[in-house]
Structure 1
């Protein structure tokens, strides 16, 4: 009987010790920090994300995921409830992505900020409304989308290859290969045809050198001729050159014609005109009195007061 009472006391003591240790552990492990709730709304899959998953801001743990549920108002959307430390700088430009830890595949929520806003994200004048953080595709989601695009392109490439390897296309391809082989054979025959021309290249090069030498000589002669022409032009255009002297002579000749010859010509012309008038009068007199050649001109009638004057009746 006494052994049973000792065993019962030991059992009660053990149970009491366990209860006390549990209460002490809960009391010591409780979180006294008041956290700020945020909701993350997304239509993407959240595979690998569990309750109490870590929430990291630029790699630093700032909270946990406390709830994962569907949005009753918008079917297809998922709402993640986050409990984040109050000193975390969650702003209006903060966004969330889904990250994965190493090779374990355990998902966590990664917060990042574009830096376009400095205003902290808070509820709009309603403490019952939880602020919402938008979620963007993470690296795995982008890889998945790009992988699907690559698979679609691969399928399109395979389809085109199958189309190209169709029997009808294979025949055309073989014909093209044969034509390429013929063209290659013709190309191989070209060096043999070019050998005579290549053999004459040294001779042509020598002739080209001689031609270039003659061209240089001709250029030098042309340069000398140009210099001589320039010198001749300079001499002709000099102040005491032939052109200047010729201009001076022509000026003297012009002055002589103007001052000496032309007046004499004018005088001679006047005398010739007077002679012609006299000759004209003589001719008219001979026509009227031809006998004047033999007897001379008759005397003029006497005037008043002269001997032989007869007054008219």
Structure 2
């Protein structure tokens, strides 16, 4: 009986000790920090993400995932409830991605910020509502999408290769290879055809040098001719040059014409006018008395007081 009582006491003591240890562990492990709830909405898969998964802000752990549920209002969307410490700088430009830790495949929520906004994230419609953080495709999602695109391109490439290697295309390909071989053989024959031309290159180079020498000589002669033309122009335009003397001769001729020749011409013109008048009177006299050309002019009748004057009756 005494042994049973000792065993019963030992059992009670063990149970009490375990209960006390459990309560102490729960009391010590409880989180006294008040956390801020946020919702992350996504339509992508969240494979590997479990409850109490870590939430990291630029690599620093700031909270945990407390709930994973479907969005009743938008079928196909998933809502993740995050509990984040209040001093985490979650702004309107903060976004979430799904990251994977190591090679174990354990997922966590990675928060990042574009830096375009400094305003802390709050619910836009109802202050009591839980603010929502948008989720963007992570590295694995991008790799999956690009992997699918690569697979599609690989299938298309395989299909084109199969189409290229069918019998008809193989014949065309072999014909092209043969043509390429013929072109290569013709290309090998080209150096032999170019050898005579290449052999004449030194002679052509010497002729080009002689031509350059002649061109330089011609350039020198042209320069000398240009200098002579410049000197001739300078001498012609000098104050005592031919042009100046020619201008002086023209001035002298002009003065002579104005001062000497023109007065004489005017005098000769006056005499010619007088002669023409006399010739006109002579013509009128001959018209009136043509006999005067043979017998001369008649003697005019004597006037009063002259001998032979007869007064009219």
Using structure 1 for the length normalisation, give the TM-score: 0.91
Gaps of 5+ in 2: none
> Are 1:112 and 2:145 an aligned pair?
no
CA distance in 1, matches of 2:280, 2:34: 154
User: Offset of 1:152 from its aligned partner?
Assistant: 1.5
Who is 1:35 aligned against?
A: 35
> Are 1:221 and 2:224 an aligned pair?
no
> Are 1:191 and 2:191 an aligned pair?
yes
User: Offset of 1:279 from its aligned partner?
Assistant: 5.2
Who is 2:3 aligned against?
A: 3
Tell me, what secondary structure is at the counterpart of 1:291?
helix
Gaps of 5+ in 1: none
Using structure 2 for the length normalisation, give the TM-score: 0.91
Stretch moving more, 147-156 or 234-243: 147-156
User: Offset of 1:303 from its aligned partner?
Assistant: 0.6
Who is 1:303 aligned against?
A: 303
Q: Which of 292, 295, 306 is matched with 1:289 structurally? A: 292
> Are 1:201 and 2:204 an aligned pair?
no
CA distance in 2, matches of 1:221, 1:122: 92
Tell me, what secondary structure is at the counterpart of 2:183?
helix
User: Offset of 1:141 from its aligned partner?
Assistant: 0.7
Stretch moving more, 65-74 or 300-309: 65-74
User: Offset of 1:85 from its aligned partner?
Assistant: 1.4
Change (3 A) 1:290 1:223: same
CA distance in 1, matches of 2:158, 2:265: 115
CA distance in 2, matches of 1:58, 1:18: 41
Stretch moving more, 46-55 or 155-164: 155-164
Count residues in correspondence: 309
Who is 2:24 aligned against?
A: 24
Who is 1:167 aligned against?
A: 167
Who is 2:133 aligned against?
A: 133
Change (3 A) 1:312 1:193: farther
Change (3 A) 1:75 1:277: closer
C-alpha contact (below 8 Å) 2:292/2:298 kept by paired residues: no
User: Offset of 1:137 from its aligned partner?
Assistant: 0.7
User: Offset of 1:311 from its aligned partner?
Assistant: 2.3
Change (3 A) 1:253 1:28: same
Change (3 A) 1:159 1:255: same
Note the alpha carbon deviations across 1:251-278, whole angstroms, 9 max, x for none: 1111111211221133233334434554
User: Offset of 1:125 from its aligned partner?
Assistant: 4.0
Stretch moving more, 181-190 or 38-47: 181-190
Who is 1:58 aligned against?
A: 58
